[in-house]
Amino acid sequence: MALEIVSRHGCFGGTVTYYRHASSATGTLMRFSAFVPANVQNAPLLWFLSGLTCTEDNFTVKGGAYRQAAALGLVIVAPDTSPRGADVPDDPAYDFGQGAGFYINATQAPWATHFQMERYIAQELPQVVAAELPVDMRRQGLFGHSMGGHGALTLALKYPQQFTSISAFAPIAAPTQVPWGRKAFTSYLGSDEAAWQDHDACVLMRRSGDRRAMPAILLDQGADDPFLHEQLRPELFEAACAAVGQGLILRRQAGYDHGYFFVSTFIDDHLRHHAAILGGQS
């Protein structure tokens, strides 16, 4: 199945388009949205990875990103968070199964057949987007929220030649040490915790050793987030960055919780952060 346009909408002079395509990575139909400003060519490409229970629609509708993205000349792509469909394994819990792919490649049955989200995001979808959108694939940034913040941090650290700029809102920063991550990794990757290490931003950052530091990472965390102390643990990522000399701008935002009111409040700062690193259209 070729790339299909599901719907297209005018937005701040540009367009928001919802796409659907058959994925070889997941073996399912996958959807994503793309905001393209007016009259751009060779534009920087920014990926937004969403959190638990979300689809490609949550950030697209609630993130409030496109006015600033239009001004900065940034293309933004927001993929779905997991494979979906009647034949795709699922779980009744909100934090596992469909809507909770964790941006990893599952190795355990029954999840391994379809839950190949790392391969989809880092390899397959960039090829699809490069063939369709007016982007410069040499200038890609990653950001995300919650589970998607985990995905943004880990994928950027695993593929530093591909993703240049990084930021996150309330990421699951140490998934091997918190209930959300341990639950998902046990089922997707198996009980051997050594296999989990490749999917923990704190571990990946400490492994980087004396590698040349990437541009500073921006991380916003709501101080009133109910998941902060049990599930997110940004202080562990802060310590990992300090241990290897990686620049980190960690802002603890008083009065903000975990939702999209928080994300939309600070989204412009994140877009300017990425634009400063990636540059404008060329």
Q: Would you call the peptide bond into 110 cis, given omega within 30 degrees of 0 as the criterion?
A: yes
pLDDT greater than 70 at residue 206 = yes
Q: What percent of the chain has a predicted confidence (pLDDT) above 70? A: 97
pLDDT greater than 90 at residue 216 = yes
The full set of domains in the chain, from first to last, is 4-280 (3.40.50.1820)
Annotated active-site residue 225? The verdict is yes
Catalytic residue among 258, 270, 273, 274: 258
Contacts for 134 with CB less than 8 Å, ≥ 6 apart: 36, 40, 41, 42, 43, 75
Band of pLDDT at residue 208, cut at 50, 70 and 90: confident
Catalytic residue among 33, 50, 146, 167: 146
Residue 113: what pLDDT? 97
Burial 110-130 (b: 16+ CB within 10 A, else e): ebeebbbbbebbbebbbebbe
What digits encode the pLDDT tens for the residues 152-171? Answer: 999 999 999 999 999 999 99
What digits encode the pLDDT tens for the residues 97-145? Answer: 999 999 999 999 999 999 999 999 999 999 999 999 999 999 999 999 9
Annotated active-site residue 258? The verdict is yes
Dmax over CA atoms of the chain, in Å, equals 50
Annotated active-site residue 150? The verdict is no
pLDDT greater than 80 at residue 173 = yes
Residue 2: what pLDDT? 83
Average pLDDT, the chain: 96
Band of pLDDT at residue 273, cut at 50, 70 and 90: very high
CA distances in angstroms from 196 to 3, 7, 105, 128, listed in the order given: 33, 38, 11, 29
Contacts for 153 with CB less than 8 Å, ≥ 6 apart: 166, 168, 171, 173, 201, 204, 217, 237
3 state DSSP class of 254: coil
Catalytic residue among 23, 80, 225, 273: 225
